[in-house]
Every structure is written in structure tokens, then in C-alpha cells.
Amino acid sequence: MKISRRSIDIAGLRDITQRRIPVLVADSHEPGPVVCLTACIHGDEVGGTAIVHDVFARFRRNGLQRGKVYAYPLVNSLGFENVSRFITADREDLNRCFPGDAVGSMGQQIARRLFDAIVKAGPDLVIDLHNDWIRSVPYVLIDPPQEFPNRKLYRQVLNIARATGLLLVEDSDVFHPLANTLAGALTGAGLAALTIEAGGSFAVVEDGVAAGTRAVLSALATLDMIAATDDEIAAGSRGAPLRYTDHPLCTTSGLLRFAVEPGQAIKAGQLLATVYSAFGSTEEKLRAVAPGFILGLEDHARALPGRAVIAVAESS
Ligand SMILES: [Zn+2]
């Protein structure tokens, strides 16, 4: 097994510096699956970078049995340096730019370079590593069945997602148009892709990194690429995916106080949060639309009409 470093040129800047996406490659020199790991597409979501580091440290210690792993540990270095979700030069959300455009906007050009590099690697699986609100639990997000070009690919992604042992959530295009995310564009191109949200953004949250690393190692073990011990990998899950929603949205403005915690099971109609006026009177009570689990809570206390402040995985 050999680990090598390379880079993808992405953007020539005005000061004639060239920006690059760093690439780590672990090559077992044995035939087998190809897996790609992408991290920090949103520049303030840094936990995925640490997950890549920990997964590669594990390769150095224990090797890779077969196949190859390509990792892109810091996709959005421009956002990372500015502690911003966006490509800060033009405030674009890179994860809404895929599959990209070689002559499009800066975000679209960067997306195209990365997308082409991933497709050229010929991956059997792509795991895109993200982080969520500061107060959030790790979960794995897959596209809904209708987004897949065929049933076989959906089953393949569902099996890997279950193997991660994380709370399994299906994205809902009712609330979040999936078009132009990396995972969505790869799915559209007939490739197996899923997204892991590994706890809070901004700082490296170690329990989120541990959960994400375990999830990635579990996926690699499922593909027989590593020989993992039971304590390194997840036990896996079986049930149907839960459904992502950010409802109820706020309809008033004011100070937001939550009545629930991330990871908590909730019932339909349960009080989730209350919005107060500056004088302390109740403006609004947000109640659960359906039973499920709290995935995450907004980082700020500011409620505004139409604003999503809570992420819920609905079980019905
Ligand atoms: Zn993200």
C-alpha cells in the first residue's frame, strides 16, 4: 500500500497565484473498488477534513487490502481561510454548482474540475463529508429513490448508508431542491454517492469526527477494502430512511428559545421552540409536524418569517 499526494489546479487568482485542491491517494496495488472522499466543500465545515486525516492514519497503520481511495480533504480552501460556507471571492455555494461548467462562474469552474477528477477516478462510491449546525447530531443523507437512474444503484447506496450505522435520512426535494449538489450530480451521472453530516461546523468537533471516521471505515469494510475489528466499525442499521424536513418554518420575528435537543425523539404536535417579542410576550410556538428525531438547531436566536431554524428527521 502506498499513499501519495497530488493536487488539482482550480483557479488562477489576480495576484497570479494558483489555487489547488489537495488530493490524497491510498493505493493498495490490488484490484478492487475505488472510493472518493470529499471534505470541506463548505469552507466552515472542517470536521470532514479531520475525518480524512484519521481514515488515512488508519491506512498507514493497518493498510488497505484492495482497491484505491482518493480523498479531497480541503475542497474549498477559499472559504476555509475566511471561515465561510461560500467560495468567498463571489459568495457562491459550491455545493449548488455541480456538475459545474468549465466556462461558467468561479464556483461552476471549480465544481467542474472536481467533478471531472472524481468521474475520471471511476469511483464505486463517493462519500461527501459535511458538517451541520453547531448543535446537531451526525447522520447520513441519501437522495430519495426517484432521483436515482435505476433501482439497483439506489439499493447499493442504501446498503452502504445502512452500514455506516448513522441515523439514516432521505433528502426531501419538497423542501430542498437537490439539483446541483455534488451527491445529486453524481447520482444523476449513475454513480453511487452519499453525504455524511458529521456534527457541528466551525471547529473540529471530536465526537462528530469519531462518528464520521467510523462511518467511512464501515463503508470501506462493507466493500472488503479493509479488515476492521468490531470496535472500529458500526453495527449497521436496518429500518426505512427517515425523511428530512426543515418545517415548521418561523412565521414571526423575535427571540428563539428551543424546547428540544439534537438527537431527541419527538411526537407530532410536540413543542419545539417558542418565539418571544423583545418585551417577552409569546409571538409563536413551533410544533412538530410529524413524529421523528431532532437533527439540529439553528446557531442563532434570531427568528424571522419564512426562516428555517430546525432540522427534523420525520419517521412518517
Ligand atoms: Zn455542507
Q: In this structure, are 161 and 303 located in the same domain?
A: no
Strands (E), the chain: 2-12, 18-27, 34-39, 68-72, 125-132, 135-136, 139-142, 167-170, 193-200, 242-245, 254-258, 265-266, 271-276, 282-287, 292-297, 302-303, 310-314
Q: pTM above the 0.85 mark?
A: yes
CATH of the domain at 279: 2.40.50.100
Q: In this structure, are 171 and 258 located in the same domain?
A: no
What percent of the chain is helix, strand and coil (3-state, nearest 5)?
A: 25, 30, 45
Q: 85 CA distance to ligand 1 centroid (A)? A: 7
Q: How many domains does the chain have?
A: 2
Q: 65 CA distance to ligand 1 centroid (A)? A: 31
Q: 288 CA distance to ligand 1 centroid (A)? A: 24
Q: 309 CA distance to ligand 1 centroid (A)? A: 16
Q: In this structure, are 93 and 11 located in the same domain?
A: yes
Q: 72 pairs with which residues across the strands?
A: 38
**SS3 for 62?**
helix
Structural domain contains residue 252: yes
Torsion of CA 214, 217, 219, 220, to 10 degrees: 180
Q: In this structure, are 85 and 179 located in the same domain?
A: yes
Structural domain contains residue 64: yes
Q: In this structure, are 209 and 171 located in the same domain?
A: yes
pLDDT tens across the length of the chain (316 residues): 999 999 999 877 778 788 999 999 999 999 999 999 999 999 999 999 999 999 999 999 999 999 999 999 999 999 999 999 999 878 899 999 999 999 999 999 999 999 999 999 999 999 999 999 999 999 999 999 999 999 999 999 999 999 999 999 998 765 455 679 999 999 999 999 999 999 999 999 999 999 999 999 999 999 999 999 999 999 998 889 999 999 999 999 999 999 999 999 999 999 999 999 999 999 999 999 999 999 999 999 999 999 999 999 999 7
Q: In this structure, are 52 and 178 located in the same domain?
A: yes
| DSSP annotation string for 256-287 | EEES--TT-EE-TT-EEEEEE-TTS-EEEEEE
Q: 230 CA distance to ligand 1 centroid (A)? A: 29
Q: 149 CA distance to ligand 1 centroid (A)? A: 24
Q: In this structure, are 193 and 252 located in the same domain?
A: no
Q: In this structure, are 119 and 197 located in the same domain?
A: yes
Q: In this structure, are 16 and 155 located in the same domain?
A: yes
Q: In this structure, are 131 and 250 located in the same domain?
A: no
Structural domain contains residue 10: yes
Structural domain contains residue 228: no
Q: 17 CA distance to ligand 1 centroid (A)? A: 26
Q: In this structure, are 6 and 74 located in the same domain?
A: yes
Cell of 112: 467542474
Q: In this structure, are 158 and 262 located in the same domain?
A: no
CATH of the domain at 175: 3.40.630.10
Q: 285 pairs with which residues across the strands?
A: 274
Q: 196 CA distance to ligand 1 centroid (A)? A: 9
Q: Which domain holds residue 69?
A: 2-222
